[in-house]
Structure 1
Amino acid sequence: MMIVWSVLFATAVVAFALSAVSGGGAGLVLMPILGLILAPENVPAALSIGTSVSSISRIAFFFRNIRWSIVFRFVPLALPAAWGGVMLLRQMQPAYLSLLLGLFLLGNLPLMLRSERGAKNSADDGAHGMVWLPIIGIMAGFISGFTGAVGLLFNQFYHKIGLDKSEIVATRAANDVLLHLVKVTLYVSYGMVSQATLLVGGLVALAALVSSFGMKQFLHRIPDHMFKQVGHGAAVAAGVAMMVMAGQHVVAQDQLAIQYTRHAHALGMTVDWRQHRLSVEVEAPIELEVRHSLISHGVAPHFNAQWHDVRHAILHISPLQGAYMTRSE
């Protein structure tokens, strides 16, 4: 077990160091790793404990760089939105949202490959971005309450407002610290913090402190274009990791399965998800058949299990007969 804690601590130190260089994202980088140690519903609480300590230390180091005008527009609506995210977390697994967040983070790939030419921000962009700050606060608060981290999701927004790297680090910390503390309080009050969650969160918090000590000394040496590129690269890496981990959770909890079939006059693919089966089949000469089966409760959706179809809905698409639907009970 000591090896697991050592690996987690070392990874967290690297993640928070990377977060310092990129302006955030340690939580998103750590989410897939914490998912291997904790139950999915406990990961957000552990992340919030660790990242709240990180935000407090960054405020201490970069207090003079905080843009308070942004904080006052961001925080008021972010806090109640975080409560909504926590409430949703109590009702469902975060795996599907993690898939969407992973896809969103992969959108940083074009930004990472794009040259700096033409990427300058105008004063109009900054003024327009300030108007949208309350909406960004709502989105960030809700997603953060649901996943425990938001990090790099809105970093591009800070760049568009015109903040430099020190201002991004400081202002994000000021925006996030109250958010994380409110979330930790909500997680505790709803019984979502176990002993393992406290241990993991405390270890992540210690790693955040260790990383913060060296951050003040090295951040000013990093060129602005590298700051942005590292942020985009970290977002892409976190997106891939989140999609892989979330995909594994979806397959396990919803018994997702895919099967391909091939017969003499037909090719088909069948997808099972929870109590649904979707079959797509191409029949000779040229006809596409799409079948949806709703399975009775209590029957596991597995290809080797005995299926009991409640009803069928079959869509036929043919160049000769057009599109038509048949049903069977």
Structure 2
Amino acid sequence: MLLVPLVFLVALFAFTISAVSGGGAGLVLMPLLGLFLRPEQVPAALSIGTAVSSIGRVSTFFKAIRWQVVCRFVPLALPAAWLGVWMLSLMPPVYLDLLLGLFLLSNLPLLLRRRDHTATLRPLSPALLPAMGAAAGFISGFNGAVGLLFNTAYHRLGLKKEEIVATRAANDVLLHITKVGLYCSYGLVTQQVALVGGLVALAAVGSLFSVRPLLNRLHDSVFHRIGHASACAAGVAMVLLAGNQVVRQDHVQLGYTADTTRTETLVTWRSHRFSIELEHADLELKHSHPHESHLRPEIAIAVLHISAKKGIYTTHRLARG
């Protein structure tokens, strides 16, 4: 059975890399765990492993924790995590994962920037930490990982690499423990989830032996660049995985037709059809979807017309399905 060694080795690598990038093991592991677990089970397995990882990092870097950050971050993170777990019990987080992947890809300009980017970062006001905690708690509860999403915020607080690792871990300990309890109460922790989560936790413990030696060898600027590189890599993986899932579950299709007088580009999503049609000098933006009718199946069609002769206007009609 390849599941055990594969999950362990990838998790060991992910937690080792996350130690020198400021976080992100969960975001790296999400695509892999999605191959073995249902989408709503992945956050539960991740939280088991990351809770153990956070406890280990707190004990390793206890003296580097910035408690003033923790005290502002945690209070709103916990109730927000409950809201995220509740949302997860209602729907899979596939669209959130897609948006987070695109957000992580925004680190690419920072990665490609030649000079040290820290000189251009504006300081972050500590007054924003409660809102940051609430956002982190909700996202973490909904998809199981926050990781690299708030890396830039920790840099803007003026934290050094050891302080980022330690303070992030302190922020995450209560959050992940609370989430594991909530996942259990909502019935999201099965025997398979516990097995995968245990493997991730074991890998997290194994990575602790290399954390301090690696951080001691890294300059802060290199630490930042590794963080941006990890964010971009996680973003690519999340966009590909979530995008593929959206295409399959919501029947997304793209189409294009053209002749001598008109061109049309269309997108179908679930039962909706969106199209852009250009004919001569007239542009039509069209949306159609099934319409409830007691007499016969019908399709509701709404069209926004942009015409050089008639101006801008809309039309609505029902067509027989």
TM (norm. structure 1) is 0.92
Partners of 2:25 and 2:117 in 1: CA distance: 29
Counterpart position of 1:191: 187
Matches within 5 A, 1:1-329: 2-117=1-116, 119-120=118-119, 125=123, 128-283=124-279, 285-296=280-291, 309-329=298-318
User: Residues 257-311 of structure 1: CA distance to partner in whole angstroms, max 9, x if unpaired?
Assistant: 111122342111221111211121111x2211222111257xxxxxxxxxx5431
Could you tell which deviates more after superposition, 111-120 or 285-294?
111-120
Partners of 1:53 and 1:172 in 2: CA distance: 13
Aligned partners of 1:28 and 1:238 also within 8 Å: yes
Aligned partners of 1:293 and 1:309 also within 8 Å: no
Partners of 1:119 and 1:215 in 2: CA distance: 23
SS at structure 2 position matched to 1:39: coil
Identity of aligned residues (%): 56
Q: Give the deviation of 1:211 after TM superposition.
A: 0.7
User: Residues 48-79 of structure 1: CA distance to partner in whole angstroms, max 9, x if unpaired?
Assistant: 00100100111111111111111111111100
Cα 1:322–1:121 shift into 2, 3 Å: closer
Could you tell which deviates more after superposition, 286-295 or 110-119?
110-119
Partners of 1:277 and 1:309 in 2: CA distance: 14
Amino acid of the residue matched to residue 33 of structure 1?
Answer: L
Partners of 2:290 and 2:267 in 1: CA distance: 13
Aligned partners of 1:275 and 1:296 also within 8 Å: no
User: Residues 13-60 of structure 1: CA distance to partner in whole angstroms, max 9, x if unpaired?
Assistant: 111011000010000111111111111000000100010010011111
Amino acid of the residue matched to residue 237 of structure 1?
Answer: A
SS at structure 2 position matched to 1:324: strand
SS at structure 2 position matched to 1:327: strand
Partners of 1:58 and 1:118 in 2: CA distance: 27
Amino acid of the residue matched to residue 206 of structure 2?
Answer: V
Amino acid of the residue matched to residue 144 of structure 2?
Answer: G
Amino acid of the residue matched to residue 99 of structure 2?
Answer: L
Q: Give the deviation of 1:110 after TM superposition.
A: 1.3
Partners of 1:228 and 1:309 in 2: CA distance: 56
User: Residues 181-222 of structure 1: CA distance to partner in whole angstroms, max 9, x if unpaired?
Assistant: 000000000101111111111111111111112212221111
Amino acid of the residue matched to residue 22 of structure 2?
Answer: G
SS at structure 2 position matched to 1:255: coil
Amino acid of the residue matched to residue 105 of structure 1?
Answer: L
Partners of 1:72 and 1:324 in 2: CA distance: 55
SS at structure 2 position matched to 1:9: helix
Partners of 1:328 and 1:218 in 2: CA distance: 65
Partners of 1:263 and 1:93 in 2: CA distance: 41
- Unpaired runs of at least 5, structure 1: 298-307
Amino acid of the residue matched to residue 137 of structure 1?
Answer: G
Aligned partners of 2:66 and 2:167 also within 8 Å: yes
After TM superposition, where is structure 1 displaced by more than 4 Å over at least 4 residues in a row?
none
SS at structure 2 position matched to 1:93: coil
Partners of 1:279 and 1:261 in 2: CA distance: 11
TM (norm. structure 2) is 0.94
Number of matched pairs: 314
RMSD between aligned residues? 1.6
- Unpaired runs of at least 5, structure 2: none
SS at structure 2 position matched to 1:41: coil
Aligned partners of 2:291 and 2:300 also within 8 Å: no
